[in-house]
Amino acid sequence: MARSATVAWRTSPRPRNVVAGAAAPWDGAEGRRQRRLSAVNASSLARNFVAAGMDVVIADVLNGETLPVYRVSLDSLLVVHLHVAYGHARDRATGRPVYLTSDEFAMLHREQELTSGVDLWLDTTELSVEETAERLLATWTGE
């Protein structure tokens, strides 16, 4: 059932809210700790918005450590992996601001391929934004 408002929250592989001492996920134990903390914080915000009667969408690059955080922290969770073939992902990324090196981008893409336990795996390689949104909405609303 749709609520009166929807909140979208986007996390990032590179911490942008940590003023000093930010560590990327591939920066050892501290990077993994901050990535997990990001999932904990996103879950906390989501619970607050849901309690206020809003639907919540969290966009995150999940892995085997962060997905369980969301599963334990949030009720009625729908986890969707939006897959895109690596070459297409690189092409799409070239038109956006660059925050990752080529090696970091490749590592995150490989990591996504290894993450299991999602509710819906959707290959968006050949889908338009509108087609992707239609399929997500149909899954979310159960239509």
Q: Do residues 136 and 122 lie in contact, with contact meaning Cβ atoms separated by under 8 Å?
A: yes
CA distance 61 to 71: 15
What confidence tens digit (pLDDT) does each residue in 46-97 have?
999 999 988 888 988 888 889 999 999 999 889 999 899 999 988 888 888 8
Structure tokens at 7: 């909140």
Extract the tokens encoding 24. 């990327």
Average pLDDT, the chain: 83
Half-sphere exposure of 32 (CA within 13 A, CB side): 6
**Type of residue found at 76:** S
DSSP 63: -
Measured between alpha carbons, how far is 77 from 72 in angstroms, rounded to an integer?
10
Tell me the whole-structure pTM to 2 decimals. Answer: 0.79
